[in-house]
Structure 1
Amino acid sequence: MPEPDAPQSGAAGAATIAPAPNAPTAHTALPLAPFSSARDAIKAWMRDSTAGDKAGAVRALEYAAAQGHLTAQFKLGRMYAGGEGVPTNDLKAFEYFSKIADENADATPGTADGRIVGGAFVALGGYFMDGIKGSYVKPNIDRAFDMFHYAASYFGDPEGQYNLGRLYMNGQGTRRDARQAARWMKLSAEKGYAPARAVFGELLLRGGEGLPRQPVLGLMWLSLARESADPARDAWIIERHEVAFASASASDRTAALALIERQQVAGSRAPQR
C-alpha cells in the first residue's frame, strides 16, 4: 500500500458494476483446453504453475474463471493488474473484479468467498480513484467511495476500511470527517493492517478536529505498525515511527512500550482456536 496522501451496507443491487455496453469482456471466450470442470482446471493450473508452464497455467485459470470459479477470477484479476505471468492489462483486471462484484455482492462476510469478494470491491475502488487511461473506466470518486464503503462495512475488509478512512480524512467522495476517519482506521488497525495502524497512530498523536490527543496510544499503534510493516513496501511507516519516537518524551515512550508488552503477554495467554 503506498504512503497515504494527507488521504452502509448497501443492497446487492446497489453495488452493481456493469461494464460499458460496448466494452470488451474478459470472460466470454472459453480457451480450447481439455478440462471437464472448473475443479479439473484448477488442478491443471496448480500443476502447470509448479512446472513453470505459464501459458498453460493461464489457460487453466481462464477456463475455471469462465465457469464462475471465484478464486480463479480473483487470481486472474490480480495477475492482469500486476503483470504477473501475463502482460499488464488493467481493463481486463477491472472486468474480472467487476464480474466478481456484480455476481457475488451478497456473499457471506467472514467466509473465504466473502474475503475474495471484499477484495474485489477494494480493487474496484482503486480503479475508480484513478480511472484506466484509454478506456471507459473514468476517475469517479463517488464510485470509489461506494466500493470502499461496501467492502469496509459489509465485508469488514481491512484494506477497504483503511481506504475509506483515507477518503474521510481528505474529504473525497464525502465530507471531511476526522472522527469517521479515525473510526475506520481503528477497525482496520485492530485487524493488523499495518498502514491503518500507522495512520491511526498519527491521528492519536496529533489529535484535533474533535479527536482527543492520546500520544501514548499513538506511539503504541505506530510501534505495532512498524513491527508488521514490509520494509520493501512500507518504508514510510518505518520513517514515521522513527520520527514519532524521536520527538516523544521519555515517559510517553516508556508507557507506550509497556502497553505493547502487556498486549503481547495477553496475546500469548489467549486460548488458541
Structure 2
Amino acid sequence: MKVALLKDEVAMHRGAFTRLATSLGCASILTLLILGHAHALDTKKSAMEAVNQMANITPQQALRDGARAYYSGEKDKALSPLRYAAENGQPMAAWKLGRMYAQGDGVPEDDLQAFQYFSQVVREYSSEGPKARSAPFVASALVELGHYFQTGISDTAVKQNPNKAREIFTYAASYFGDADAQYSLGLMYLDSEQPDHDNRLAARWLKLAAVKGHVGAQAKFGELLFFTEELTSARITGLKWMTLARRQIVSGEKDAWIISLHEKAFSLASEQERRKSAEWADEWLNKRSSLVASTN
C-alpha cells in the first residue's frame, strides 16, 4: 500500500497521442544528460553502508521499507532503504530520492543531488520504453531534468540551456506521451522571447496535455484560443477549456492565476458563451468520472 502511494505521485500517462516531433533516440538523450562535472554523490557511499545493514533484504523489500518509513513520517529512516533499492534496480526509489532532494523533503535541499538521481533513472531505464513499468518514473525524471536545464543549477556544471531543455521535453512528450512534458513544451513555444516561438505549435502540445486532464494545460490552451488574435475563431472553445480548468481547482495561491484568467475571459464573454462553456465543462467532467469509475 505504501509503495502504491509512491506510484500515485507520478501520473500514469496512457492513451494515444499525436507525435508532433521526431523522437530523440535513447542514446541521444542520454548523451545530453551525462555531464562532466566532478560533484561527488552520496549515493554510492550511502548505498555501500546500507548493504551491510540490508544484506538479507531484497531491493523490493527495501523499497517497501523505505516507503513505509517515509509515509510514517520517519523520513530519515527512509533514506538508507531507498538508496539501497535505488542502487539495486528499483527506479521508483531513485525517482523518489530525486524528489526528496529537489524539495528538501526529509533531507537538505540539493538540486545537484536531485539532478543526479533523476539522471540515474533516465540513464538506467529509458531504454525499456514507454510501456515498461519504469516508464512513468523515466518520463517524470526527464521533465525534472528539463526544468533544471531551463534554469541551470548555480555553481555547478549544469548550466542554463533552453535548447537542451526543449529537446528533453520533446523526447518525454512524444516518446513517452507525458502530459507534464507536453505542457512544459507548450509553454516554451508560447514564450515570445524564444527564437522558435510558435503559437500554433504551443496550441498542439497544450491540447495534447489538456485532453489528458492536465489542468494547467487546459487553462493555457483555453487562454491561447480565447485571446490570440490569429486564433479568435476558436474563442468559444477557449472559454470551454478555461471553464473546465476552473471547475477542477479550489482557491489557493498556486492556482490563483487560473481563477484570475477565467474571470477575465468570463467578463468578456456573452451570456450564451458562458452557458455553453459551463455545460461543456460539466459534461466533460461527468464523462471522465464515469470512465475512471469503469476502470476501477
TM-score scaled by structure 2? 0.83
State whether structure 2 residue 35 is matched by structure 1 residue 15. Answer: no
Percent identity between the two aligned chains? 37
**Cα separation, partners in 2 of 1:78 and 1:268, compared to 1, 3 Å:** closer
State whether structure 2 residue 65 is matched by structure 1 residue 48. Answer: no
State the alpha-carbon separation in 2 of the partners of residues 155 and 131 from structure 1.
24
- SS of the equivalent of 2:223 reads helix
- SS of the equivalent of 1:32 reads helix
Name the residue aligned to 2:143: 122
State the alpha-carbon separation in 1 of the partners of residues 156 and 228 from structure 2.
42
The counterpart of 1:206, out of the listed 227, 245, 251, is: 227
State the alpha-carbon separation in 2 of the partners of residues 53 and 268 from structure 1.
35
The counterpart of 1:257, out of the listed 278, 285, 290, is: 278
State the alpha-carbon separation in 1 of the partners of residues 168 and 178 from structure 2.
11
Name the residue aligned to 1:215: 235
Name the residue aligned to 2:78: 57
69-78 vs 257-266, which moves further: 257-266
User: Post-superposition shift, 1:62?
Assistant: 1.1
Q: Is the 8 A contact 2:186 2:205 kept in 1?
A: yes
Name the residue aligned to 1:78: 99
Is the helix fraction higher in 1 or 2?
2
What is the letter of the counterpart of residue 120 of structure 1? A
**Cα separation, partners in 2 of 1:62 and 1:205, compared to 1, 3 Å:** same
State whether structure 2 residue 128 is matched by structure 1 residue 95. Answer: no
**How many residues get paired?**
265
What is the letter of the counterpart of residue 216 of structure 1? I
**Cα separation, partners in 2 of 1:157 and 1:172, compared to 1, 3 Å:** farther
State whether structure 2 residue 54 is matched by structure 1 residue 32. Answer: no
Per-residue deviation, residues 120-151 of structure 1 (Å, max 9, x unmatched): 10000000001001111110111111111111
Name the residue aligned to 2:257: 236
Name the residue aligned to 2:175: 154
**Cα separation, partners in 2 of 1:32 and 1:230, compared to 1, 3 Å:** farther
TM-score scaled by structure 1? 0.89
User: Post-superposition shift, 1:69?
Assistant: 1.1
**Cα separation, partners in 2 of 1:174 and 1:28, compared to 1, 3 Å:** farther
Name the residue aligned to 2:128: 107
What is the letter of the counterpart of residue 166 of structure 1? L
User: Post-superposition shift, 1:107?
Assistant: 3.0
State the alpha-carbon separation in 1 of the partners of residues 285 and 98 from structure 2.
37
User: Post-superposition shift, 1:225?
Assistant: 0.8
Q: Is the 8 A contact 1:168 1:174 kept in 2?
A: no
Q: Is the 8 A contact 2:149 2:162 kept in 1?
A: yes
Unaligned segments of structure 2, at least 5 residues: 1-21
State whether structure 2 residue 246 is matched by structure 1 residue 226. Answer: yes
Unaligned segments of structure 1, at least 5 residues: 1-7
- SS of the equivalent of 1:216 reads helix
Name the residue aligned to 2:19: none
RMSD, matched Cα: 2.1
**Cα separation, partners in 2 of 1:120 and 1:269, compared to 1, 3 Å:** closer
User: Post-superposition shift, 1:230?
Assistant: 5.3
